[in-house]
Amino acid sequence: MKAVFVKAPYKVEIRNLPVREPGHDEAVVRIRACGICGTDVHIARKCAGDWSTIGHEIAGEVERVGTHVTRVRPGDKVMIENCTFCGVCSNCKNGSVEKCSSWLTLDDQPGAAEYITIREKSLHVFDDLPFEHVVLTEPLGVALDVTQLAEIPLNSNVCVMGPGPIGLMAVRIAKLKGAKNVILVGNSHSVRRLQVGREMGADEIVHADTCSVVDWFRTHFPQGVDRVIVTSPPKTLLDAVKIAGFGGIVSYIGIDFGGEELVTFDVNEVHFKRLQIRASHAVPNLMFPIAIDLLKNRIVEPEKLVSHVFPLESASEALLCAGEDKANAVKVVLSC
């Protein structure tokens, strides 16, 4: 099978790998689509060293199954969890599956490939959705998690920082949860993303590269906002702490490398404003059934988000599009 390997800066190799036969509780899935996420772009852009696999937003069709598999069968369309709670560790058994200490992962298998062999319990059967759209299930699950952490009150003021796919879907979810005002913060060159933000329900757009975000919020929300959902780089937490109002919650998802992951802020401000900063790792994957249903019923409209689809052989072009085409790229997907 063909599989994509990457190395910074934006070097791509397509290698031929064997397809592993399924174990008793596994299925071989013919991958039909794989989304490119921010982590994939980080790896391709910044991570020097050995070649790495990419791709964990994976949809495909079951081709063959192991002898003990009962929930799926050949021909089923499936979305794959890239990280599944084990169900047997102490945290899982105590009802806290989100704190699972023994995740079941892809075992370093590439998602940007033609096939994957994966356990049955990581598969979700779906219908009536194109493969290129259902790959949004994984980032939508992340958006659901980071938004749920924020505990958005009815009629509240919410800021979403970062107009990537996760942030855009968080805008939609925040409105569904009853936010009165949702303000989306992003750079002005992200033209298409900011337009999608409007379509997702953002009441205001703030251009972080052309004005002071903190000054804008002090003018328009002098008491601060109730919630800040941060899907942008770690350094933006500095502004998030400043624009959150008394008793506010800042929820955060995101990573960076090369020292950019280090931030310093005034802890006294957090203390005296009685703020809470809540990190969403969104691993293991949760809420896939809800996410698939939201996409299927177009509560979250996938066609607004999937901006580009490239064949697997054009993975290099796809990564450059996702990482560098700031004006046009929203969600880039590989068709496998």
Q: Is the pLDDT of residue 225 over 90?
A: yes
Residue 181 pLDDT > 90? yes
Q: Dump the DSSP string for 241-259.
A: HHHEEEEEEEEE-----TT
Give me the pLDDT at residue 254, please. Answer: 86
pTM of the model: 0.95
The pLDDT, as a whole number, for residue 78 is 98
Q: Compute the Cα dihedral for 308, 311, 315, 320 and give only its sign.
A: negative
User: What's the confidence (pLDDT) of residue 259?
Assistant: 85
What's the pLDDT score for residue 255?
A: 82
Query: pLDDT tens digits for 8-63?
Result: 899 999 999 999 999 999 999 999 999 999 889 989 987 767 899 999 999 999 99
With a pLDDT cut of 90, the percent of the chain lying above it is 93
pLDDT of 322 higher than 70 = yes
What share of the chain in percent tops pLDDT 70?
100
State pLDDT tens for residues 230-268: 999 999 999 999 999 999 999 999 887 778 889 998 999
Q: What is the pLDDT of residue 46?
A: 79
Q: What is the pLDDT of residue 256?
A: 79
User: How confident is the model over 150-173, as a mean pLDDT?
Assistant: 98
The mean pLDDT value for 144-170 works out to: 98
Task: Find the mean pLDDT for residues 154-162.
Answer: 98
The whole-number average pLDDT for the span 67-94 is: 97
Residue 320: which pLDDT band, with cuts at 50, 70 and 90?
very high
Q: Per-residue pLDDT averaged across 293-317, rounded? A: 98
Mean of pLDDT over the chain: 96
For 183-197, write each residue's pLDDT tens digit.
Answer: 999 999 999 999 999
**What CA–CA distance (Å, rounded) separates 73 from 14?**
29
> How many angstroms from the chain centroid is the CA of residue 186?
17
Show the domains of the chain with their CATH numbers: 2-136+300-335 (3.90.180.10), 143-279 (3.40.50.720)
Strands of the chain (E only): list them: 2-7, 11-16, 26-36, 52-53, 57-65, 77-80, 83-84, 104-105, 115-119, 123-125, 157-161, 181-186, 204-207, 225-230, 244-252, 276-279, 306-311, 331-335
Mean pLDDT of 120-148: 97
Q: Which of 180, 238, 242 is nearest to 215 (CA)?
A: 242
